[in-house]
Structure 1
Amino acid sequence: MTAAHIPVHVPLVTKPMGIWQSLQAARRNLLSIIPAIATKQPMVSGRTGKRWHMVMDPGAIRQMLLENLDNYPKSVVTKNLLRPAIGDSLFIAEGAHWRWQRRTAAPVFSHRNVQNLAPIMAEAAERSCDRIAAAGPRAVDMAEDMVRTTFDVISEVTFSGDGTFDGQAVHRSIDAYIAEAGKISLFDILGFPDWVPRPGRMMTGKATAQMKQVADEAVEARRERGAKGVPDLLDLLLAGEDPETKRQMNTAELRDNLLTFIVAGHETTALTLAWSLYLCAFDQQVQDRARVEAQSVLKDRSATGEDVANLPFIRMIADEALRLYPPAAMISRTAQADDTLCGRDVRAGDTVIIPIYALHRNELLWEDANAFRPERFADRKSIERYAYLPFGDGPRICIGASFALQEAVIILATLLSRFRFTPVEGRDPDPVMILTLRPEGGVWLQADPV
């Protein structure tokens, strides 16, 4: 397959890098430190200040995420990056503290609750269509519009638009934190402990504190007011309790989890949609097939929760976008005790990385690994379980996966049924990861009504 038939991708490194080179590369694009051989081998090991291993073998990944989970907690680097902004929320917590939060939050994302939120997703899709139509015959940055669309959803889902919470301000604060403090530090690569100050995080401390104060006030106001009408995410979390201990989340725990859901719950879906639209513009035959499916089901209305099961090809497009451009494109763990992965020794303290971007493009696992082929998901049983991890797996699989997929299919089907998207010459997005895999430069597409 020629380069012209391959969508944009990250050029992986072919030569070993020292500490300084690794730091510079990681601060520009975390994926650029992945060696190219990671797409051809089951495991790659090295040393950059400390020992590390990259694992692409599904059996070894299963061992890390399921069978020997407690030996591979989230890495010190991950916690150092995120704890100042989202505390010990569900995303970061370990052991008993993670388990009770997970038990408390799980009912919030039940199938029934997620289905009840579908009308909010459909309304946000309609507003996106209105904005695109109003822009007229010119290019639109669909990445920016998808962030706005999914933020509309999470704002309504989280706080029912009750005006007690400035969600936009909170999102701007977290985004600024990720842009500066979230960039990997030389101290992180060298394995310095968390109490050693990181300059970037010190500079953003005031904004983070203000953001948490705003969220705390919103939680307390709702606690006093109580739920009204259909319960939103905050109502459900306030009412939630650990089924074993009956413990409920305090204000700080509620706030940290809400901030996590607000950012993770809209940016990852926005990225999935932006990359899906880029890929549909890249391959017009795929887009045509998707449009036929969407129009046959929707006629001239927006998609609903009930429609999702009848839009299998559009779901395949989202799945393939998540394979080629997984929002969480790299996860790292710190080994707590000696272990063996792929017949190779892993020592206590080693950093063990699952480079999901490389796993999803590994030639041992995927035919034409860099090609855009949604039909590879027509038979999901043919895909090895731990070869495809857009939402992680094991007990720590993303709690909002069904929410994100329903939202992606509803919005994508609605847009494709109304518009034909074509690429803008010379404006291809650049896949860059700091904490999530974003299309740097935007996804600029011409959108013409059909």
Structure 2
Amino acid sequence: MSHADTPVKVPLVTEPMGILGSLGAARRNVLSIIPELATRQPMVSGRTGKRWHMVMDPGAIREMLLERVDTYPKSMVTKNLLKPAIGESLFIAEGAHWRWQRRTAAPVFSHRNVMNLAPIMTAAAQRSADRVAQAGPRAIDMAADMVRTTFDVIADVTFSGDGMFDADAVHRGIDAYISEAGKISLLDVLGAPDWVPRPGRLIFSRNAVGEMRRIADEAIEARRQRGPEGVPDLLDLLMDGEDPKTKRQMNTAELRDNLLTFIVAGHETTALTLGWSLYLCAFDQSVQDRARAELRAVCGEGPVTGEHVEKLPFMRQIIDEALRLYPPAGMVSRTAMANDTLCGREIRKGDTVILPIYALHRHHMLWDDPDAFRPDRFADRKAVERYAYLPFGDGPRICIGASFALQEAVIILGTLLNRFRFTPVAGRDPDPVMILTLRPEGGVWLEAEPVSTPQPASVA
């Protein structure tokens, strides 16, 4: 297949790299240290200062994520990296402290609550479409607009446009933090020895994080004074939530850490999924035409609402396939807490066990023509092997906001495709680079041609 037939991908390594080679490559793009072999074999092991294993076998992944969760907790690297920003929240906590928070937060993301927040998503999607229209015939970086759009959604659903909440300051704090944190994480993921110099360990980002946490604390206190108004937002739902077993409720610090987790985890990952989905729709116009036909049949020319989402299966397939080709968390690492065996291979306590989700999703034994963009792979969800496709992780720690993210992605992508035909800009292909998440480096530059007259928004 010529390059033009398949969307952009990360060039995987075919020769062993050695420790310094790996570090150099990882600083540029952590996925570039994945051996090409990892897309053809169930497991690949090696040593880079530390013993590591990459696991691509669905059965072994199921054992790690579902049956032996306590043997494979999130690696210390991940925790040390994120703790300054999000404390002991759901994303990081382990054991009993994780369990009670998960029980308390799970109802927040019930189908009914997520549906109640759909009008916020529709309104943000309409604003995005209006910005695209205003940009006129010029090419526009849709990746950047998607970050703005999903941040609009998360700021609104977390603090319902609370005047008390400075969304831009939080957004800047998150960006500053992620870009700094990403630089050091790779060295640790690879078990690099301590003599390898780390760039300034988060000195700069502490200020940004401090500011971000202060803003969130103030917003939470203001809400305690004021009480809920209108449709309950995520903050109201979390404040009301209690652990059904112990009746414990979250204090201000726990609320703040979990809200910041939802903001950090819930906006960039969805923005990336949307940016890559738009790139893929521009890459394959026939997919875009089919999507638009489905949208017209279900929504007419109007906006996409929460009620439409279930009736747009092909839109969902496009998003599923974008998540397969460009999973936001392209690689996940765990630390083995006990001796074990996976795929008949010895795992020793202390080994780093990596799930290279990017390689799993493009594995030749699991997917037909794995580098091709084919939304129809997901026409029958039951035909997809469960542990071969992990955009949201799995097991007890599966992403708590998955249904929220998918609903938001369908609404925003649908609204945009219903109003515009997107075409690629020659020579401006994005470069898939993973630092903390798999981003389209250089942006997703597309031209957008209006295909319909916008209807007045029926939602506020």
Opposite residue 121 of structure 2, the aligned amino acid is: M
User: How far apart are 1:87 and its partner, in Å?
Assistant: 1.0
Q: Are 2:84 and 1:88 aligned?
A: no
What corresponds to 2:444 in structure 1?
Answer: 443
What corresponds to 1:101 in structure 2?
Answer: 101
Instruction: Specify the SS of the correspondent of 1:332.
Output: strand
Instruction: Specify the SS of the correspondent of 2:433.
Output: strand
What corresponds to 1:117 in structure 2?
Answer: 117
Opposite residue 21 of structure 1, the aligned amino acid is: G
User: How far apart are 1:188 and its partner, in Å?
Assistant: 5.3
Q: How do 1:290-439 residues align onto structure 2 when only pairs under 5 Å count?
A: 290-439=291-440
What corresponds to 1:261 in structure 2?
Answer: 262
Gaps (5+ residues) in structure 1? none
What corresponds to 2:166 in structure 1?
Answer: 166
Opposite residue 177 of structure 2, the aligned amino acid is: Y
Distance 2:139 2:415 in 1: 19
User: How far apart are 1:233 and its partner, in Å?
Assistant: 0.5
What corresponds to 1:226 in structure 2?
Answer: 227
Gaps (5+ residues) in structure 2? 452-460
Instruction: Specify the SS of the correspondent of 2:367.
Output: coil
Against the structure 1 CA distance between its residues 346 and 311, is the aligned structure 2 distance closer, same or farther, given a 3 Å change threshold? Answer: same
Distance 1:318 1:349 in 2: 36
Q: How do 1:180-329 residues align onto structure 2 when only pairs under 5 Å count?
A: 180-183=180-183, 184=185, 186=187, 189-190=190-191, 199-329=200-330
Against the structure 1 CA distance between its residues 192 and 17, is the aligned structure 2 distance closer, same or farther, given a 3 Å change threshold? Answer: closer
CA-based RMSD of the aligned residues comes to 1.4
User: How far apart are 1:185 and its partner, in Å?
Assistant: 5.4
What do residues 168-194 of structure 1 show as CA deviations (whole Å, max 9, x unaligned)?
Answer: 21121111111012322545533679x
Q: Runs (4+) of structure 1 moved beyond 6 Å?
A: none
User: How far apart are 1:210 and its partner, in Å?
Assistant: 2.1
Opposite residue 364 of structure 2, the aligned amino acid is: E
What corresponds to 1:6 in structure 2?
Answer: 6
What corresponds to 2:72 in structure 1?
Answer: 72
Native 8 Å contact 2:177 2:209 kept in 1:
yes
Identity %: 76
User: How far apart are 1:197 and its partner, in Å?
Assistant: 8.9
Native 8 Å contact 1:185 1:198 kept in 2:
no
User: How far apart are 1:204 and its partner, in Å?
Assistant: 1.9
Distance 1:185 1:329 in 2: 13
Distance 2:119 2:446 in 1: 27
What corresponds to 2:454 in structure 1?
Answer: none
Number of matched residues? 448
Distance 1:355 1:2 in 2: 25
User: How far apart are 1:18 and its partner, in Å?
Assistant: 2.1
Stretch of structure 1 that moved more, 19-28 or 287-296: 19-28
Distance 1:198 1:49 in 2: 19
What corresponds to 1:18 in structure 2?
Answer: 18
Against the structure 1 CA distance between its residues 4 and 212, is the aligned structure 2 distance closer, same or farther, given a 3 Å change threshold? Answer: same
User: How far apart are 1:165 and its partner, in Å?
Assistant: 1.1
Opposite residue 83 of structure 1, the aligned amino acid is: K
Against the structure 1 CA distance between its residues 185 and 410, is the aligned structure 2 distance closer, same or farther, given a 3 Å change threshold? Answer: closer
Distance 1:303 1:207 in 2: 36
User: How far apart are 1:433 and its partner, in Å?
Assistant: 0.7
Instruction: Specify the SS of the correspondent of 2:154.
Output: helix
Against the structure 1 CA distance between its residues 309 and 355, is the aligned structure 2 distance closer, same or farther, given a 3 Å change threshold? Answer: same
What do residues 69-100 of structure 1 show as CA deviations (whole Å, max 9, x unaligned)?
Answer: 11000001111211111111101111111101
User: How far apart are 1:305 and its partner, in Å?
Assistant: 1.1
Native 8 Å contact 2:142 2:445 kept in 1:
yes
Instruction: Specify the SS of the correspondent of 1:145.
Output: helix
Distance 1:4 1:182 in 2: 31
Q: TM-score of the superposition, structure 1-length normalised?
A: 0.97
What corresponds to 2:136 in structure 1?
Answer: 136
Distance 2:271 2:100 in 1: 29
Distance 1:215 1:120 in 2: 20
Stretch of structure 1 that moved more, 260-269 or 19-28: 19-28
Q: Are 2:145 and 1:145 aligned?
A: yes
Against the structure 1 CA distance between its residues 95 and 192, is the aligned structure 2 distance closer, same or farther, given a 3 Å change threshold? Answer: farther
User: How far apart are 1:265 and its partner, in Å?
Assistant: 1.0
What do residues 196-255 of structure 1 show as CA deviations (whole Å, max 9, x unaligned)?
Answer: 997331332222222212211111111222111211111111111111011111111111
Native 8 Å contact 2:48 2:192 kept in 1:
no
Distance 1:8 1:260 in 2: 30
